[in-house]
Structures are given as structure tokens and as C-alpha cells.
Amino acid sequence: MATAPFVLYGAPGSGATPVHAALTLMDLPVKVVDVAPWQGEHERGRLSAVNPMRQVPVLVLPSGEIMTESAAILVWLADRYPAAGLAPHIDDPTRAQFLRWMSFVSAAIYSLYWVRDEPSRLASSPEAEATVLERTTERIAQCWRDMDAQMPRGPRYLLGDRLSVLDLYVTVVSRWQPRRLRFYREAPRMAEVVRRVDTEPRLLDHWAARYPFGKDWESEGP
């Protein structure tokens, strides 16, 4: 009996992109529904039936259960399908750091895009909005610096010699503002890793379809 596919809600380049990358590496069936809630009320309304918070990503499991929160989805998938080797096992010495940094990217960096997407959520004037954007840019850069300073040197990937969902997560989020060129300067160790993930042979078609490397993508991006 055929397994029902996962259904993934989220636009190209969004927080759904690393989830889709993980599903690709796991060779799991997935149906993608493109929706970009940062583009306005109409797009957010399209999510109301599947996620009352009206945010992406949303992953509908084959059972019909709904998951939200990118870090939680990635950790769950990696643990649910261990044969793909995309997360340290619970007894692995790197498991604690894996969970630490998955949470850090989500809470300290990704969460700032809620206000960056619509600065008026916290700012009451154009001048205040500009200040919010400037300060969140610097905060994101600082977070990347702090994380990079604590990454082990030597392994091919962030926590060892095997690709993990943490690498997928950082690779996608590092393409958002303040864009990759700033990220390379702030996080030289992680820069080596994300460039490696950018060229991962198993993901070339995925990147081309869901987050293509267009002209000036490192400084401007989609």
C-alpha cells in the first residue's frame, strides 16, 4: 500500500526550504504548496485552515497531523528517519550541541524575520522602521559571529564529517538578510560548510527548483 505524501506549505527560499531539502535527502514523497505569508493578508489567509498562526513552514504528515516550527520539523524528520543520517543519535556525543544550535538558529536568528518582514509590527513610523531593520541586521550578524566562534574547526560539516539538518538550516537562513557576503565575513568557519552544502550533488536539483542561485544572489538574493 502506497504511503501518503507529506504536504509542505511554504514559498521558495522560505523556512520550508531546508525542510524540503531534508525530505529530498530522505527520498520521501512530498507535495509542495507555495504560499508566502509575508506578502500580505491574502497569502496569510490561505494558511488559516492548516495553521491558525498563519505562518510557514507547515508540514502535514502522512497521518494528517500538522507540524509547524522549522527547527522542530527538521529534528523530528531526522529522528523519525535515522537511516538518512541527518542528525546525531540521542547517545551521540554531539547530540547536545546539535539541539543547542538548532534552537539557537530558530530562536535567536530566524525569529527576527517576523519583524523584518513587516517592521510596522514593532515600529510606528518610517524612521522607526529603518532603525528596526538596521538593528536587527546587526543583531543577526552578531549571532552568526557568536555561533561561528564556537563551532569546531576541522570537520567537513558543522558538527562532524556527516551532513545534518543543522547544516541545511544554516545554509538556507544564511542566505537571508544581511545576505551571504556579510555572513562569509562574520562566520568564516561556517562559510566553508554552507558553500559545501550549496554544491551537494544530491541537492543541486532541489536548490535550482526551490532556491536558485541567481545573479548577485550572495549580495542581493531573491
DSSP 92-142: STTHHHHHHHHHHIIIIIGGGHHHHH-GGGT-SSHHHHHHHHHHHHHHHHH
Residue 144 near residue 187 (C-beta atoms within 8 A): yes
Residues found in the chain: 222
Q: Is the pLDDT of residue 222 over 80?
A: no
What is residue 1's predicted lDDT score, i.e. its pLDDT?
Answer: 41
Task: Give the separation between CA 191 and CA 195, rounded to whole angstroms.
Answer: 6
Strand partners, 31: 7
User: What percent of the chain clears pLDDT 90, i.e. is strictly above it?
Assistant: 96
Give the 3-state secondary structure of residue 30: strand
What is the rounded average pLDDT of the residues 77-106? 98
- Tell me the whole-structure pTM to 2 decimals: 0.96
Q: Which of 50, 51, 7, 58 is nearest to 28 (CA)?
A: 7
What is the rounded average pLDDT of the residues 200-207? 98
Residues 175-197 pLDDT 10s:
999 999 999 999 999 999 999 99
Cis omega (within 30 of 0) on the bond before 57? yes
Give the 3-state secondary structure of residue 188: helix
Cis omega (within 30 of 0) on the bond before 52? no
Residue-averaged pLDDT of the chain: 96
What is the rounded average pLDDT of the residues 2-29? 95
